[in-house]
Every structure is written in C-alpha cells, then in structure tokens.
Amino acid sequence: MFDLFKGLLFGIAYVAPIGMQNLYVINTALEQPKRRAYLIAAVVIFFDISLSLACFFGVGKLLDTVPILKLLLWLIGGGFVAVLGVQLILAKETPVNTETSAEPAIFRYRKAIVAAFAIAWLNPQAILDGTLLLGAFRASLPGIHGDLFVGGVGLSSIIWFTGLTTIVLLLKSQLNAKVLTWINRVCGVVMLGYAVKLLGQFVGSVL
C-alpha cells in the first residue's frame, strides 16, 4: 500500500501544475452544465491515465526510435492547441450556466473528446517527460510494487480532475459573463504559448 500512496503523491505533484489539461477542464466546467463538465472531466482522466500507463511502460522509446513520429506530433499537436487557444480568445461572452438554465446550444461531444485526446497525446514533450519520470520509478519498482505505484498515479488523476471540476462548478455561480470571458482569454493565451513551444520544437528540429 505504501507504493500506492507514493504513486498517488507523485501523480498529484505531476498533474497539479497549470497545464493544458487543467485549463481545458477549468474552461469546460465554466462554460458547460454540471453533467457535461463531469463527463468531459472523465474523458480527460481516461486519456491522462492511458498516457501515464504508456509512459510507465515505455512509449517514449518509440518516439526516440521513430523521429518522424515526434515531428508529426509536434506539428499536429501544436496546430490543434493553437486552434483551441484562438477559439477561447475569440469566444464571446457566455451566460453563466446554472442547474435550471438551458444548456448551450452548440456542443459536440466528438469535438470535445478529440480536444481532450489532442491535449494529452499530441504533446511529445509530455510523453518524453512522463517516460523519464515514470520510467525511473518503473526501473526501481519491479513487479507488484510498480503496479501499485502506477495505480496510485491513475488514482491521483481521478481525484485531481474530479476535484478541480467540482471546485470550478461551485465557484461558477459567483462569476459573471464578463469575468468568464476574460478567464477564457487568459486560458487561450496560455494555450497559444504551449502551441508556440510545440511548433517551435518542430521548426527547430526540421531546420
């Protein structure tokens, strides 16, 4: 059980710093009703856990072995994140949703799922960093110890993103449409920063 707890603490420390997944969960909880917010949080959790498992078992080696795959991920991931960032920056003021308010007219689960996948899996830097960090634990925790550790990492993802969604939903009623718009814009600018970093890595590798 100690290995499970160690994985839980490591997972929280790894996922807690502001990143694209956190921004996406926050933005979804601000704009969508409770049911949709938790559904999208569950999708983000699924892709985050799947990425952690892949990193733990060494998918980073595949990127090192096939350099063109890393280039494609930088290009496609950077472009997709840039689009998300621009959409957030240009989004118009949105009324604050409550339990009795009508759900937003325009929402597509397929688009939301693709976005959650892209944010998690189309970032080779995150894959490589995760592989280095989780791979080190994998090497030092053989057998059941490693299984418990990575199980704790997965549990941390569930706790973190569910908790983050809950906190934002509780605070949402205290925010007006203009504040939400500016939060969207700040999140959009941060996402553009990630996009520039990814595309810059692509350009730097090609040149």
Query: What is the pLDDT, as a whole number, of residue 166?
Result: 96
Range of the domain at 10: 2-206
Domain count of the chain? 1
Question: Which residue in 155, 127, 147 sits closest to 45, CA to CA?
Answer: 155
Question: Which residue in 192, 51, 33, 31 sits closest to 127, CA to CA?
Answer: 51
- What DSSP letter does each residue of 128-148 carry, written as one string? HHHHHHHHHHHHHS-THHHHH
Question: What is the identity of the amino acid at 1?
Answer: M
125 within 8 A of 198, measured Cβ to Cβ: yes
| Residue 133 half-sphere exposure toward CB, CA atoms < 13 A | 18
Average pLDDT value over all residues in the chain: 82
pLDDT tens-digit series, residues 19-50: 788 889 998 998 889 999 999 999 999 999 99
Taking the C-alpha atoms of residue 112 and residue 47, their distance in angstroms, rounded to an integer, is: 12
- Mean pLDDT is lowest, of 28-32, 99-103, 194-198, for 99-103
The radius of gyration computed from the CA coordinates of the chain, to the nearest angstrom, equals 18
DSSP-based helix, strand, coil % in the chain, nearest 5: 80, 0, 20
Does the global pTM surpass 0.75? yes
Taking the C-alpha atoms of residue 199 and residue 204, their distance in angstroms, rounded to an integer, is: 8
- Mean pLDDT is lowest, of 55-69, 96-110, 162-176, for 96-110
Torsion of CA 168, 117, 143, 70, to 10 degrees: -130
